[in-house]
Structure 1
Amino acid sequence: MDAVSSESEIDTVVLDLGQVLVDWEPQRAHPHLSAQAWHAVAAEIDFHALNLRADAGETWASLEEEVAAAWPQHAGFLARYAEAFATTLTGPVPGMPELVGEMRARGLRLLGLTNWSSETFPHGRVAVPAMHELEAIVVSGDLGLVKPDPAIYQHLLDRFDVAPARALFVDDRLANVEAARALGLHGHVFTDAASLRRELAGLGVVIDPPA
């Protein structure tokens, strides 16, 4: 394993998981619905707000009861989503399994920080082999905290003795990255593996793209 260069500004990379390591398409849990119909239901019940509540520790069963009571015509929508969750993970984000392996080979410490329901998270471990390259993963559903709450970042920093100024936080959501920056971490809004390579190079960690 190559050691991180003394010229590098960082020694730790903290990675979000969804849309960074693994592609997530929630509508795939309901293949009987057209894309238009799925988005209409999701908007009516505010699926993404409900999903965030699950990420914060609420059970899918309790959320399904809430939806069924408020929108009887959509009873079963969340239950189906939770049951078919594995189908919503469509594979690794292109280039990221290789980059994760290369970062580890360079001696960077790799941690995960994800907004994810503790009920469905085990599917992620199966679907995303790159997760096993990470030293540890902080899962929001286990803590009852979600990004961008500063407390979840502080939990990771304290638990793993991470120096904020020596860490890069990577997430596809700007609000989450800004929260990390406010605590002193370097931050990168993820779009693709190539842009993350450039960010790392700017911090003194040059990882050449695969031939």
Structure 2
Amino acid sequence: MGEARSIEVLVSDVGQVLLPFDTSRVWERLLGATSLPEAEFRALLHELYHALDIDRRAEVGREFHAELVRRGGLRLRFEEFAWAWSDMFWEDAETIALIAGAPVRQRWLLSNTNALHWEFILRRFPHVVARFDGWIASHECGRCKPDPEIFRLVMRRTGLPPEAHLFIDDLAENVAAARALGMDGIVHTDAAALAEELARRGLAPG
């Protein structure tokens, strides 16, 4: 029998929880469209990603692309780059069903992401996003997990205290940050383990 819990809000990460991804697909496409050696291009992309603060800025995709063209010899138009950079996700149907079916009042998405990935997700997976009451995306709010402020933003949106929230993420440091504020948390590994954790809390889908 599950533990009696007063969870009213389920907050889920997106990447590697609802939507697994494989970045090797991105590297294969980009490395095939640059004149730089692989190691040099990889270093440049990582440099730009952090220098441009892509996960915290809403309007940076075209600047990112332009710098890769200018400095990395990238031979892709912006629209081609946006697809190459983003088409790496697929659905974990079992995990989605568990989270979407849990008996809670609200469901929210909380993602460290960037504008290009998020726009792609909204276009490719609208049926997944539609099963949630809303989302908080890092590039839109200027905060990234595990920053406590992004979890406080969740609570301002839901209007409920920390103990009413259950946060699911594949990264232990993010779950630890949520727990530090009083939320419950699950480090996601796979659907089977998640089903057990939800059932233990009395949150198995009916």
- CA shift, 1:14, in A, is 0.2
Aligned-pair CA distance for 1:109? 1.8
| 2:64 match | 63
Task: Flag the 1:47–1:93 CA change in 2: closer, same or farther, 3 A.
Answer: farther
> Normalising by the residue count of structure 1, what TM-score does the alignment of the two structures yield?
0.77
Matched, 1:181 2:179: yes
Question: 2:143 — aligned with what?
Answer: 145
User: In the alignment, what sits opposite 2:95?
Assistant: 96
Show CA shifts across 1:12-63 (max 9, x none): 11000011111222332343748xx998457523639817921211612333
Separation (CA, whole Å) in 2 of partners of 1:63 and 1:173: 26
* Cα RMSD, aligned residues only: 3.2
2:129 and 2:195 map into 1 onto residues whose CA distance is 18
Unaligned runs of 5+ in 1: none
The farther-off stretch of 18-27 and 51-60 is: 51-60
SS at match of 1:8: coil
Deviation at 1:142, TM superposition (A): 0.8
Shift of residue 144 of structure 1? Answer: 1.3
Residues 93-140 of structure 1: per-residue CA shift (max 9 Å, x gap): 24123213322xx24421111111134312112333222100001111
Q: What SS is found at the alignment partner of 2:53? A: helix
Identity over the aligned pairs, expressed in percent?
Answer: 26
Q: Which residue of 1 aligns with 2:17?
A: 20
Q: Which runs of 5+ in 2 are unaligned?
A: none
Count of residue correspondences: 197
Corresponding letter in the other structure for 2:113: W
Moved more, 114-123 or 5-14: 5-14
Tell me if 1:132 matches 2:130: yes
Q: Is contact 2:68–2:74 with CA below 8 Å preserved after alignment?
A: yes
Q: Distance in 1 between matches of 2:116 and 2:25?
A: 18
Question: Residue 115 in 1 paired to residue 112 in 2?
Answer: yes
Q: Pick closer, same or farther for the CA change 1:6–1:44 going to 2, 3 Å.
A: closer
**Is the CA contact 1:100–1:133 (under 8 Å) kept in the aligned structure 2?**
no
Between the aligned partners of 1:142 and 1:111, the Cα distance in structure 2 is 15
CA contact (8 A) 1:148 1:175 kept: yes
> Is the CA contact 1:118–1:140 (under 8 Å) kept in the aligned structure 2?
no
| Number of the residue aligned with 1:201 | 199
